[in-house]
Amino acid sequence: MKKWMLWGIFMLLLPWLLALICMKGTGQAVWGSENRIEKEEDTLPSLDEKGGETRESEAEEEDTEISADSISRRILIERDGIQTYMNLEDYLPGVVACQIPEGYEWEALKCQTVIARTYICRLMDGRQEIQEEELDLDYIGQANGSENRFLTLGEKERLAEKLIQCKRAARETKGVVMRCEDQYVLPLFHRISSGRTRNGSEEYPYLVSVESRWDVEAENYQQVFSWSRETFAQKISQIPGAAPVRADQVPEQIQTVEKDEAGYLTEMKIGSGIYKGEEIQYTLGLPSSCFYFNGTESGIQAVVRGIGHGYGLSQTGAAHMAAEGWDYQDILHYYYKNISLVTE
């Protein structure tokens, strides 16, 4: 075969090979602007069960054991037109790395891994394989936005360390999922609650409102956003099906109709229209639907508490609980009621 043909085949396979190397999390720097991988000279630490360091060689030995006894579920992924299968347990670290904030506590990281595994198994609904696009999840190589730029050395080190930690969390929770009445739960989570999580509908008996006192001390727990009356009225009028709102109607004609037990707005009247809290949240670009409005001399402002929808696990609360010594099983049982942790 001619050399140029061999070179062409190699270039086609290169992105897939790089993705696999990245997802192995072996302590290498990943995802430069040309998808190059440069081996780091120093071994990056991962965390043991108590949060200490473990040698990379030990992690690699565990990898071999896991690969020989891995769960059969698999994900069909496509990179640059090339399709391949990846075992669910090998796929999880790249998902979890996108979901966790920096400095996430170890037991909380294991919570997030169980959440991600449960969500994927729920979508698979008994199937042994699923296409990646069906998952609608961010993945480390797709979501970090670094394809068109070089990562700094510090960014590479943090990303590589995060992948190592996520890979170890997958090993230490291998196969663990959350079930309620023999069904996979819908494992909702959010960054910061209002100080209390929200009740789900009767269809989700495991989404029960609980106190999350740790959240109120979090950075960005409360944020303030401001608009002129004209801009505010224009944005509200853009809600699908909204009645036109005039600037002279706000804030005088804003009235809270209903809030839930956690303080999240469920219905609000603005002008002659009644809107759901999420509708107002999205049109105004607010971080949560736990908010209220104040009139100001220059217009109107929203005071917002929490980040996210408020259902299920609070990542901030889970991190604080882990720091206090809670293990991941107890944290999950705290935020999701009536569940069983099952190893499949």
User: How confident is residue 79, by pLDDT bands cut at 50, 70 and 90?
Assistant: confident
Phi-psi region of 16 (alpha: psi -120 to 50; beta: other; left: phi over 0): alpha
Spatial contact of 268 and 280, defined as CB atoms under 8 Å apart = yes
The answer to whether residue 10 scores a pLDDT higher than 70 is: no
Is 109 a residue whose pLDDT tops 80?
A: yes
Question: Which percentage of the chain shows pLDDT scores above 90?
Answer: 70
Determine the pLDDT at residue 64: 40
* pLDDT of res. 141: 59
Residue 153 pLDDT: 80
Side chain identity at residue 244, one-letter code: P
Q: What is the pLDDT of residues 300-343, one digit of tens each?
A: 999 999 999 999 999 999 999 999 999 999 999 999 999 999 99
The residue written with tokens 């209903």 in the block is 258
The pTM (predicted TM-score) of the whole model is 0.78
Whether 271 shows a pLDDT value over 70: the answer reads yes
Alpha-carbon distance 119 to 112, whole Å? 11
pLDDT, one tens digit per residue, over 31-73 is 222 222 222 222 223 333 333 334 344 444 444 444 333 458 9
Determine the 3-state secondary structure of 82 from DSSP. strand
pLDDT of amino acid 270 = 97
pLDDT digits (tens, 9 = 90+) for 110-149: 999 999 999 999 999 999 999 999 999 988 755 444 444 5
Integer-rounded Cα Rg, in Å, for the chain is 23
pLDDT tens-digit profile of 159-188? 889 999 999 999 999 999 999 999 999 999
Number of Cβ within a 10 Å radius of residue 248: 10
E strand or H helix at 227, and its extent?
Answer: strand 222-227
CA proximity to 290, closest of 279, 281, 299: 281
